[in-house]
Structure 1
Amino acid sequence: MLTTLQQRLDELSSAEYTAAVKEIRRGIERETLRVSPEGKISQREHPKLLGAALTHPYITTDYSEALLELITPPSNNIEETFGQLQDIHHFVSKNIGDEVLWPMSMPCFIKHQDEIPIAYYGESNIGKMKRTYRKGLKNRYGSMMQAIAGIHYNFSLPGEFWELYQKTQGDTSDLNTFQSEQYMRMVRNVKRYVWIITYLFGASPAMCRSFLEGEDDVLPFESLGKGTVYLPHATSLRMSDLGYTNSAQSSLNVEYGTLQNYITKLRRAIRTKSEEYKAIGIKVGQDYQQLNDNILQIENELYAPVRPKQVTRSGEKPTDALERRGIMYVELRALDVNPFSAYGISKEQMRVLDLFMLFCLFNERDELDSVQQDEADENIDRIVLNGRAEQLTLKLDGTDKDRNEWVHEILDEMAAIAKWLDNHYGGIHYSIALDRVKPAADDPNKTLSGMLLNELLNANKDNGRYGLELANGYKTQALAHQPNHFKPSFLVEEGQKSIAKQQQIEASDTLSFDEFLENYFKY
């Protein structure tokens, strides 16, 4: 495979490609809970100084009023993206009073799901829809898993790259069609190989016992300190059935063969009634309990480690946007919050993620049939719960494959891509970033999950207490940061504009909420 990959990279080494590759864009969505000085989830409203969560481009909320989502716009410069993320953290840290930002994926110090306040987006129809959707998530799955935080990494290649790449491939189809087909290839291979990202960067092997709400026997947990449970070889409890994924959706069988297959399957799920969710009721009295009683309320309810994406226009559904304009970028959703970074992710991680996404694009494997998808799901399950075990094997085309051997093979191919990117950018940043993670191929203790668990075990320290120590230190670090890209005055202005925009949306509504939902779900 390496010879084939190297030949392909050699074909993409002209000066034209240098100009195109330098326009690779990434954006980060970092989720983080606001917590009290004692580490308890915040019961306060979204701070007004942070603007309106409904309309702010950089600071919003996810499931909970306390679960912030900090967003950087697409940029072709990693230093700029990371700097913007630092600036947003600085501004948020200044404007949340004595609260701190939780530095881990798994929440802590939550005794019951009713302590998790559902996000509020105002009284507009779209604001009510977002809140009702979250009420539906609580009624379907419970709030605990919705309080888990992650990092979403948005990755795109510029139009100039696709034009050149299409010629290199000898393809004569419509450019937009070719671009979407290639992005779907990337998506399929992310599904196939995402286990290596969870192995390297999974960072939630432990969590507070309170998260289980008394269901300690769900997995063979071991205990640590006063209130911590962990799995000795786990990498990411967030990605297990306890968290990010959900076994209730395992029967959906969403296909990734073509973009149209993906859209068709997803639409079927959001149009098909569920007997289980029918029992919840849609509108009980005057209160909505969920948007509908379909398998998925909306497309976003599909829990997946990767999504093909297109920017939606006002009132447009994600599947409609994809069908009309194709894929604009790919969203990698399998990344835990990095507890060793004040910002949840490092620049080195970003470079490794760039390499991984390009590895998935250039990989010669294309199809992902149902058998291969089952293998991919089994591999991620093994890595999530037992990924650092000695002599772990994974599945590849029906045979067992040694984890260390496979990690080495993938990193070798990523090393070729790193050299290719370094040649285009000038410097050795990508090669250095990859060299930093290579020791984890043979030593699972060098993974993020291994380092975190060793930190806890060596100090016999509770996960929650360690998280709170980190949170306090990171707030000091964020406050000391000198904003460079997003000055505080700029973010203040953005907050004011977002509030005015929300008020404008509320004032322009002419339909009742019932009518609004009926129109939205009309096909």
Structure 2
Amino acid sequence: MFSRIGQLIFNHGVVAKTSNFTMGLEIEMQRIDETGNLSSEPYPASIGDEKTNPWITNDYLETMSEVVTPPAHHALDAMHYLYGINNALRSALAPGELLWPLSMPPKLPKDKSTLQFAKMGPAKEAYLKEWTKRHGYSEGTPCGAHINLSINPEVIDLVLEHFPTDFKDRVAVQNYLYAVVAQGFLRYRWLITYLFGASPLAEKNYFEPGQEPKQALRSIRQSSHGFGTKFSGRFTNVQDYVDAIEKGVKQGILISDYEFHGAVRFKGNKNLKELPKTGVQYLELRMLDLDPSSSVGIRTDTLRFIRLLASYFIMNPGLRANEVDRALETANQMNEVVSTEEPNTICHYQSKALAFLRSLDRFANQLQLGPEYQEILSDLTDRVENPLTTPSAKLLNYAQDGSLENYALRRAKHYQTAALESIHQFDGFDDDQPMSAEDLKKALFYGNWELSVEN
């Protein structure tokens, strides 16, 4: 049963536009050497200034490379951008450098104070130092796949046109729809962690002695052992979101509003206080571990599933305002349970997961979204029924003495070799010059390929 907005979308035949979310990707990976240590090489000079390059930058550590794609209207286009820019980064690496394919970092030095912060200017570096005082070096080192998701403007216009008494203006519609989608993703974050969690083990020196988990986990990164701030925020509406973060800063829980690194973030105006007035422009989803079965850390089917979820959340009844805080608090607790389960075990919420996937299947059929979505949902249902098919459980097959280093190095070398072979098919980049717009076009054109999973 659709919500009022969902029925409006269905009746006016704009389902395709509703499903057509614009997507941008941000993928973090650590640069390493061939022995599995963090690289000692500087940011690659041939791709320009890390403070100004819009496509390839750094995050937290100087070795933590972040690839950022332009917005794309289709999952395949987003992946083509990602492969192209990832290739550009790989082509610029120093001889012997590789990209670590796992979310949890490679082995860290015993003296973590030797790690270099990203060179992003004095203000950002001062922030990173203060953040590290509060949280320690390790918590800043996990990498992930972030998805930036924006709603088709025609959907916003349609809702405003037909429900003018419900919303005073276009910004009100934007903020409402983004809040509904954000609530949906947070409510089912635990399921995303189960389906795509891929950080079961941590390498040497990530944990202090005696603090490491006693078993492999479904996702260290998505658990309380993972990244940074445990400030959860509020998502009843955009104003509550802003007020909660500003309160956190005032109380000293957060260094600044920038420090809020929740699983979902509202994005738009850089001045957070103005966001409710100017409107949310997109959501940043931060709940995916890197997928080591792909050279770029994420797969097309994953993007399609995320897009399906977003469509479902817009068109189906959501939470009432007075239910949101409690429901999302429960969802956070569920995510902690799921993320800390042993990867080979049945999920504690298996029946809930299967019921929700059946609802998604009915939704996809009703909207006639095509066989590719049925195949995705069938595969994910199998993951729920058989935990051995989940990414974390598969990774454990390659663990040696509690480490995935040998597997990760093998994958890293394979991906680097394949990328360079692809790039060398054309007269590509000038090693002595920063990456130009023309270079990027070449990289994107030659980025139309995908590597298969290791059996």
TM-score where L is the length of structure 2: 0.87
- Does residue 379 (structure 1) correspond to residue 334 (structure 2)? The answer is yes
Residues 19 and 407 of structure 1, relative CA distance in 2, 3 Å threshold: closer
What's the offset of the Cα at 1:358? 2.4
What's the offset of the Cα at 1:31? 0.2
What's the offset of the Cα at 1:189? 2.1
108-117 or 6-15, larger mean C-alpha shift? 6-15
Q: Where does residue 419 of structure 2 map in the other structure?
A: 478
What's the offset of the Cα at 1:166? 4.2
Distance of 1:488 and 1:434 partners within structure 2: 40
Show CA shifts across 1:368-426 (max 9, x none).
Answer: 44432331121010011016465653xxxxxxxxx221111211222234345654xxx
Kindly provide the amino acid, as one letter, of the partner of residue 113 in structure 2: D
Q: Where does residue 287 of structure 1 map in the other structure?
A: none
- Does residue 306 (structure 1) correspond to residue 302 (structure 2)? The answer is no
Distance of 2:146 and 2:70 partners within structure 1: 13
Residues 332 and 375 of structure 1, relative CA distance in 2, 3 Å threshold: same
Alpha carbons 2:235, 2:325 under 8 Å: kept: no
Distance of 2:434 and 2:81 partners within structure 1: 11
Please give the residue correspondences for 1:270-309 in structure 2 after superposition, counting only pairs within 5 Å: 270-272=249-251, 294-309=252-267
Please give the residue correspondences for 1:176-255 in structure 2 after superposition, counting only pairs within 5 Å: 176-215=171-210, 217-221=211-215, 231=216, 234-247=217-230, 249=231, 254-255=233-234
Kindly provide the amino acid, as one letter, of the partner of residue 259 in structure 1: V
Q: Which runs of 5+ in 1 are unaligned?
A: 122-126, 222-230, 273-293, 394-402, 498-523
Decide which of 458, 464, 473 is 2:405's aligned counterpart. 464
Kindly provide the amino acid, as one letter, of the partner of residue 37 in structure 2: K
Q: Which runs of 5+ in 2 are unaligned?
A: 441-455
Distance of 1:404 and 1:431 partners within structure 2: 19
Alpha carbons 2:82, 2:296 under 8 Å: kept: yes
Q: Where does residue 237 of structure 2 map in the other structure?
A: 258
- Higher Cα Rg: structure 1 or 2? 1
Kindly provide the amino acid, as one letter, of the partner of residue 244 in structure 2: K
31-40 or 15-24, larger mean C-alpha shift? 15-24
Show CA shifts across 1:269-298 (max 9, x none).
Answer: 2233xxxxxxxxxxxxxxxxxxxxx32122
After superposing on structure 2, the runs of 4+ consecutive aligned residues of structure 1 that deviate more than 6 Å are: none
Distance of 1:353 and 1:94 partners within structure 2: 30
Decide which of 57, 80, 84 is 1:83's aligned counterpart. 80
Alpha carbons 2:175, 2:276 under 8 Å: kept: no
Residues 473 and 258 of structure 1, relative CA distance in 2, 3 Å threshold: same
Decide which of 33, 36, 41 is 1:36's aligned counterpart. 33
- Does residue 429 (structure 1) correspond to residue 372 (structure 2)? The answer is yes
Distance of 1:321 and 1:51 partners within structure 2: 33
User: How many positions carry a matched residue from both structures?
Assistant: 431
Distance of 2:275 and 2:192 partners within structure 1: 26
Distance of 2:161 and 2:338 partners within structure 1: 38
Partner SS state of residue 105, structure 2: coil
Kindly provide the amino acid, as one letter, of the partner of residue 48 in structure 1: A
Show CA shifts across 1:15-52 (max 9, x none).
Answer: 75156346420010000000011111112221111211
Residues 245 and 157 of structure 1, relative CA distance in 2, 3 Å threshold: same
Residues 494 and 54 of structure 1, relative CA distance in 2, 3 Å threshold: farther
What's the offset of the Cα at 1:142? 1.1
Decide which of 132, 144, 148 is 2:142's aligned counterpart. 148
- Does residue 444 (structure 1) correspond to residue 387 (structure 2)? The answer is yes
Alpha carbons 2:26, 2:145 under 8 Å: kept: yes
Decide which of 22, 30, 55 is 1:25's aligned counterpart. 22
What's the offset of the Cα at 1:477? 2.1
Distance of 1:321 and 1:76 partners within structure 2: 27
Please give the residue correspondences for 1:159-174 in structure 2 after superposition, counting only pairs within 5 Å: 159-167=153-161, 171-174=166-169
Seq. identity, %: 25
Alpha carbons 1:257, 1:369 under 8 Å: kept: yes
- Does residue 358 (structure 1) correspond to residue 358 (structure 2)? The answer is no
Q: Where does residue 96 of structure 1 map in the other structure?
A: 93
What's the offset of the Cα at 1:492? 1.4
